[in-house]
Each structure stands twice: as C-alpha cells, then as structure tokens.
Amino acid sequence: MALKCGIVGLPNVGKSTLFNCVSSGKAQSANFPFCTIEPNIGSTIVPDKRLEVLESLCNPKRVVPATVEIVDIAGLVKGASKGEGLGNQFLANIRETDAILHVLRCFDDPNIVHVDGSVDPVRDKEVIDMELQLKDLETVENRIAKVQKQAQTGGDKNAKKLFDLLCRYRDALQQGKSCRTVAPENADEEQLAKELFLLTNKPVMYVCNVDEASAKTGNQYVEQVREAVKDENAEILVIAAKIESDIAELESYEERQMFLEEMGLEESGVVRLIQSAYSLLNLRTYFTAGADECRAWTINKGDKAPKAAGVIHTDFEKGFIRAEVIKYEDFVELKSESACRAAGKLGIEGKEYIVQDGDIMHFLFNV
C-alpha cells in the first residue's frame, strides 16, 4: 500500500524540521519562505511494540515493519488558489496525498520570521483552509456545469447522484466549511466523493509545533487551536519539532530514552505523530510470523480476508481458499503457532471474515 501523508503549513512553521525527524529523507530546513520547492518524500516505519514481541518469540531471519510515506510540501501563502507563490504546485502535490498533517506555529521566536509578521495559529489555519476551499469550490462548480444537464434529464442515475453531492459540497464551501463536513449518504456517494479528489475532503490532523517548555502541556496557542477546531472532528497533536530534531541526532536508543525522561516525556512526538498518521488514514495491521520472517501488513479498517491476502500478492486474493487466524494475545500467551493449534486457538476463516487489528494470519490459496 503506497499511502501518503502530506505535511502542509505556511512558510517557516517547522514543516521541514518535522519532516527530517520522521523521514529517511533530508529536506532542507532554512529560515526563509519556499526553501522547500520540490515535495520531499520519505518512507518511515510505523512503530509497533507488537512486532518487537513477535520477533522475540519467533527469532526470525528478518523483520519487516509497516511503513507510511510522508511528503513535505512547499509552504503556502494567501492567493495560492489563484497561483500566488508556489500555489499551483502546492495544490497539485497535496491532491496526491491521502491525508493532511497541518503544521501550525505555536511558539514565539524573534529569530524566526513569520510570513505574516506575528504568531497566530488560528489565522494561519484559516489562510490555508480558505485557499483549499476556494480551489475546491472552483473544482466543484466546474463539475456541476458538466453534469447538470445530464442530471436534469434523468437519463443518467449516476449523474443525478453526483450532481446532488456536488451541490451539497458547493453549499458547504460557500459557507466557509470544508468538504469533509459533508457526510456521504450512502456507499455510492462515498465512492463518488473519493473519485472527486477534493482537497478539503481529506482527513486532517493539526500538528501544533510548540517550544521546549510547552512540549508536555501545550500553551495558549494550542488552546486557541483546540477551540477553533472543536467542531471539525479533527485530531490535534502537540509536538516540539526542535526537541525532536535534537532527539533524532542521538545515536542510540538508550540516549534517546534518557533525553525523553529528562524532558518528562514518555515517548517522542515523532512516534506519536507516525502512529496518529496511521490511524488518521483509518489503517489497521495484521501480521505474518514465523522462523523466516515476522512482518506487519497494512490494510484498511473493515477489509475482509481475501483483500487482506491480496496485500501480500494478488494471486492470494484471486485464489483465496481460507485463512488461518491466531489472535495476537493468544500467540503471546502460548508463544508459538503449534501451541496455539494444539490449544484450539487457531481459527479457520472464510471470505467474509473481517480482519481485526493484530491478527496473525496464514492464507491458503489456489491459482
């Protein structure tokens, strides 16, 4: 699964610093607008303690964690929807991502210029929201013009469904609301919504970049953001990108843990960010575990066994016969597949089985 989260925000809010921390890429981090021109893409592992436990039990030849792609996208300014700054490029790059990590500057520092002259995360949020909404409104109105006649003649049922959905999107956008506030009424509308690739229909997490002193408890700027997004059903994460950058430079795991303890933090913000991004995309993990390999596989919530098998190889899905399933907790308690089988803890599941997060699976297929 090639899944992408796009890091967006105004210039100089800490996007590239954050990207450097979470990704294997090396984005430039500089104190001037548009230092990020081409989108930087890095693949990062999804931390999962369960995989570490399976490794200790199976002692495999190799371990393969789940991954998510993080894309650092050029900073946006007012007028981006009309092509100002790097607006057109920004909008094209964000359209290709599956979810948005919206970084907001929630710290004071006279040495780091703000593109609008002062720190105000709610205003910054509204600048980007407005630009994305304006671009979506343009897209929606263009599509309405194309399908309206077909919808009104009644000969094309899909055109009527699309027209109705587009009109609801238009109403929301004209009120300054994002498309994600418009809930699809059925499965058909849900599919039509996906095919529109609207910018404000993507799930979003607001990442409040704070100073070192606010890393644990947040600050007044974070509270302002919480109040501003309380009706959006969006996630908020507080992170100090500068601290994360310092942690990333430490060589050993022990050094990083000591640093976190000194800061009074249980785990790094980067770990929380990656796990939250994975959750934001509505993803789940199942495992394959054995002497050769322990591996985490990424699926969507609600995927059935054949589709989950297809993540390994398309032949597994095409020729799916059945799945052998062990619950993670049972595997950890009994310590091996053979012990689980002997204890009756290995279930045989068919095509309608909905794979659960943490399932340990083995697929039987015939092509």
3-state SS string for 67-101 = EEEEEECCCCCCCHHHCCCCHHHHHHHHHCCCEEE
Residue carrying structure tokens 């790097």: 86
- Has residue 125 got a pLDDT over 90? yes
* Model pTM score: 0.82
8 Å CB contact between 39 and 91: no
pLDDT tens sequence across 245-301? 888 888 777 888 888 888 888 888 888 888 888 888 889 999 999 999 999 999 999
User: Any residues with CB less than 8 A from the CB of 331 and at least 6 apart, and which?
Assistant: 54, 57, 289, 337, 340, 360
User: Any residues with CB less than 8 A from the CB of 136 and at least 6 apart, and which?
Assistant: 169, 173, 178, 179, 198, 199, 200, 201
- What is the edge-to-edge ordering of all strands in the sheet holding 283-289? 62-64, 293-300, 283-289, 360-365, 320-326, 346-349
Report the distance separating Cα 316 and Cα 321, nearest Å.
Answer: 9
| Antiparallel, parallel or unpaired: β 99-105 and 204-209 | parallel
Find the helix or strand (DSSP H, E) in which 129 lies. helix 121-153
Q: What is the pLDDT of residue 2?
A: 60
Bridge partner list, 296: 287
Closest CA to 286 of 318, 319, 309, 314: 309
Q: Which residue has the higher pLDDT, 316 or 36?
A: 316
Mean pLDDT of 207-212: 95
Q: Which residue has the higher pLDDT, 186 or 23?
A: 186
What tokens does 42 get? 């890095």
8 Å CB contact between 69 and 84: no
- Phi and psi, residue 323, nearest 5°: -125, 140
